Structure 1
Amino acid sequence: MNLVDFSFLTGVFVTLFVIIDPPGTVPIFLSLTSTFTAKQRSRAALVAVGVAVLIISVFALFGQFILDYMHISLPALQFSGGLLLLIVALQLLAGKEDEMGASEGVNVALVPLGTPLLGGPGAIVAVMLFVQQTGGEAARIGSLVLAMVLLAATMYLAMRFAGVIARVLGDGGVTLVTRISGVLLAAISTQMIFDAVRAFLTEWGIVAG
């Protein structure tokens, strides 16, 4: 009996990698932790990944129950997540990332890094769908867990060595990449909102599926 379904594992890892985009979080991470020491930055990376994995895991196990109990649809979750990401994107474009990182009482490792950037609606919805696709098969469940472990390691390493990237790019390079990331993040969040609206309209029969 196969303990791992490599085809399913690959599909899960690639899909979540594209959605979460660990390399794309590096400039955002650098901006939000610009005033941190190397030790604080490493800890922030670990906490952010831990929060993201915890959130995704909880929704993987109890997501459908939570949404059904609160009468929330997947498109509604996607829409709200898109709005949250759009707010973060606008702050990055406006050069207010330092304010996000220095706000009293706000831990950037939790918000916005842990959620919604890493453990966001896109990843949550995708994992919930993958859980349904496992069909209770042990090999697929193991593959899903292994894919999550590999993705967590990838996310941590991308942020853990962000300082090396910062030294290579320099201050101007980091600022430039941050602005570009803000544009891309705004586009991603807008697409999430559009997809959610389309799902609503399809559900109501206004547009074809």
Structure 2
Amino acid sequence: MTELLDPRLLASVFITLFVIMDPPGTVPIFLGLTSAMTRRQRNRAAWQAVSVALGVIVSFAIFGQSILSYMHISLAALQASGGLLLLLVAMELLTGKMEEARPSGNDKVNVALVPLGTPLLAGPGAIVATMVFVKQAGDAADYVAIAIAIVVVHLCLYLAMRFANVIHRVLRDSGTILVTRIAGLLLAAIAVQLIADAITAFIAEA
């Protein structure tokens, strides 16, 4: 089984993307963005948002390495910049700034696509993290693990938004905020580890 799938990498990718994309934390944002929608429209918006986010993440996972090679960007530089971006996202989660995100009020804009699908779900943090994992992959088992983790995380996102009313009723405002803060703390630790690995790589290349 381990020849076809790397369970440790799968767990690492899943936890990283889960913390960055934060399914529980999307609940209050999703409810706020879709407050004027009917139940059927809200369910459709959840599906559209996850589809957009998955498309963006997969696109960068497939073509991201080619872009890096063309621009002559090293993995260490990507890790360092990715760590800084993740640290910014973590600070937004810890300070609550991400919860303040709201649409501009233009009714012609599909909020499921923008800003929910991207950049709230498929933001710079998730994109950079995915590109780092793909660039570090060494064989087919690694790619399978990454692909499964990406799909499972997006499934969690869909379930969180699909049952947003139920989740928010159980966690309440205080519970949702607590989960978001814990996610921010974990994400900050992941960001620091990425930066530390990048510094180690820079020293080794010197």
TM over 0.5, yes or no?
A: yes
Residues 1:81 and 2:44 are matched in the alignment:
no
Distance 1:14 1:45, change over 3 A: farther
Distance 1:49 1:19 in 2: 17
- 1:143-182 equivalences under 5 Å are 143=144, 147=148, 148-182=150-184
Distance 1:22 1:179, change over 3 A: closer
Distance 1:163 1:200, change over 3 A: farther
Distance 2:74 2:53 in 1: 21
CA-to-aligned-CA distance 1:45-96 (integer Å, 9 cap, x gap): 4445334433443344333321111111122222222222222222232232
The answer for unaligned runs of 5 or more in structure 1 is 135-139, 205-209
- 1:111-150 equivalences under 5 Å are 111-117=119-125, 119-130=126-137, 132-134=138-140, 143=144, 147=148, 148-150=150-152
Q: Equivalent residue for 1:8?
A: 4
Q: Equivalent residue for 1:186?
A: 188
The answer for unaligned runs of 5 or more in structure 2 is 107-113
Letter in 2 for 1:165: I
Letter in 2 for 1:184: L
Residues 1:196 and 2:187 are matched in the alignment:
no
Distance 1:169 1:133, change over 3 A: same
SS at match of 1:197: helix
SS at match of 1:9: coil
Distance 1:63 1:88, change over 3 A: closer
Letter in 2 for 1:76: A
Q: With structure 2 as the length reference, what TM-score do the two structures score?
A: 0.72
Work out which structure has the larger RCO, using CA pairs closer than 8 Å and 6 or more positions apart in sequence.
2
Give structure 1 regions of 4+ aligned residues with deviation exceeding 6 angstroms: none
Q: With structure 1 as the length reference, what TM-score do the two structures score?
A: 0.71
RMSD: 3.4
8 Å contact from structure 2 (residues 19, 184) kept in 1: no
8 Å contact from structure 1 (residues 49, 156) kept in 2: yes
Percent of aligned pairs sharing the same letter = 43
Distance 1:203 1:161, change over 3 A: farther
Distance 1:201 1:146, change over 3 A: closer
Letter in 2 for 1:126: F
Distance 2:83 2:166 in 1: 30
8 Å contact from structure 1 (residues 17, 151) kept in 2: yes
* Alignment coverage as a number of residue pairs: 193
CA-to-aligned-CA distance 1:113-137 (integer Å, 9 cap, x gap): 21235x332222212333x412xxx
8 Å contact from structure 2 (residues 57, 122) kept in 1: no
